[in-house]
Amino acid sequence: MLAALVVNYRDLDVDAAARLHGVSAPLLWHLLSDGSAVSGVVILSTCSRFEIYCQIPSDVCVLSTRSTVLSALSNCSGLPLSRLFAIFNQIQGQLLVKHLFAVASGLDSVIAGEYQIGGQVRRALSDAQTAGTTTGPLIRLFQEASRTAKTVATRTTVNASGRSIAALSLDIALSVMRHETLAAASVVIFGTGAYAAHIMEVLRGQKCTAVFVFSWTGRAEDFTAAKGGTALSLAELPAAIAAADIILGCSGNGARLDASTLGSWRQHTTRPLVAIDLSPNNDFDPAIAHLPGLELLTLESIRRAAPKADIETLRQAHDLVQDAVHRFEEQESIRQIDTAIVALRQHVEGVLAAELKRLHQQERGAAVPEASAALRRMAQQLLHTPMVRARKMATAGEHHAYIAALDALFGISVDLPDHPDSSPGSAELGVIPWPYRAQPCQPSLHGESQAAGIWPEACATRQAAAI
């Protein structure tokens, strides 16, 4: 069974976001080395979300698993367990699949249709595979999420306005600066990770050549050697910022440029400056917004300025996601029933082999090969209908009825493998009760009733149940 714990950074303060952002690697190790029931983990950590996808046995209580995972997260991050219980929501079943497919397609991003999240989903799976924490169901889930994202991108225009947050932030900076292009702009980037590399690509596309890179951890030289730009030392940083048009933070390592330091570096310049902070834990002190001649852009202000995707386009994209969810569940259901089909085939082939052996021992003559062929054809015909029915019952969620029939008719005992939707009630709702929040379904920033990955129809179901 698959379960996910999800939180959106809009529910976090700056300190909590910073602590979560750096614990992915140790958390993977903690979850799989403490003797818990978790057998596989993939962690999706971006500037706007932190999500933990786990595989657990179907007979394990998901609430206890939630406690186990959040306890490990508390140990790794230093955040109080009560705080984590308040902000994390657990989803499973169909809602888990739907949530990840929508996330990978950019439909749950700060900017609807943002394409960069697809690469982050692929990287999350790759990192987990490198760490050896994946399982077959988790791999299939994330791979299908990536395929769904490609389908949405090619069959709708949702990505037309869904530029990356970095690209949109630079466009906003241009409007603030009242420049037509970035070709003559001087840009200082804080950070050397994957997001910094993406920003370098965006700047190259806009013909910006005066790009300087600073790293608190001393990685700027290696980064610029591979990606371009000019590396800055700490001694060179003040002069570069005094001459900059844009400074852009995406390091996410906890170091922060404070307002007093930035103010002292800029005290002898009247050059306007746009500061873009794309780090979930803030590379720049929010107080810099009060410095003269400086405009601060944050993830929240960028979200407010993002173009609204067309309603019909979003509907088409969500329909494609829902179709992909149904196909994935059908494939997983058929995969699950394959164990029973193999057991039935082995049973019939065993009976056939015994009968053929008896035939060859007792009979002689030209009729034996014909009789053998006839028995084989009969066995195949007898297997055909049960195999077809198995797949139909699997897609209808009637796995256990089929298994019970095999046991009653043939004495064949089959243990079904875990399935993402195998827990009671998960196909109906897929949401674990959340007693730590009085009103679990709040209006989201996108104007929908959606709480950390809980879709509107699930919220309506829960509210109706509460009434």
pLDDT digits (tens, 9 = 90+) for 68-103: 899 999 999 899 999 899 889 999 989 999 999 999
Quick one: what percent of the chain has pLDDT higher than 70? 79
pLDDT category of residue 274 using cuts at 50, 70 and 90: very high
Contacts 24+ apart (CB under 8 A), 119-126: 120/44, 120/46, 121/44, 121/145, 121/146, 121/149, 122/146, 123/194, 124/42, 124/43, 124/44, 124/45, 125/42
Instruction: Please indicate, yes or no, whether the overall pTM of this predicted structure exceeds 0.75.
Output: no
pLDDT digits (tens, 9 = 90+) for 375-430: 888 878 877 787 777 667 766 667 677 777 777 777 777 766 555 444 433 333 34
pLDDT digits (tens, 9 = 90+) for 311-324: 788 889 999 999 99
Tokens (6 digits) for 427? 């196909």
Quick one: what percent of the chain has pLDDT higher than 90? 34
Listed range (147-156, 345-354, 368-377, 413-422) with the worst mean pLDDT: 413-422
C-alpha neighbours within 13 Å on the C-beta side of residue 22: 15
Domains and CATH numbers, the chain: 2-159+425-466 (3.30.460.30), 165-305 (3.40.50.720)
Mean pLDDT of the chain: 79
Residue positions annotated with a catalytic role: 47
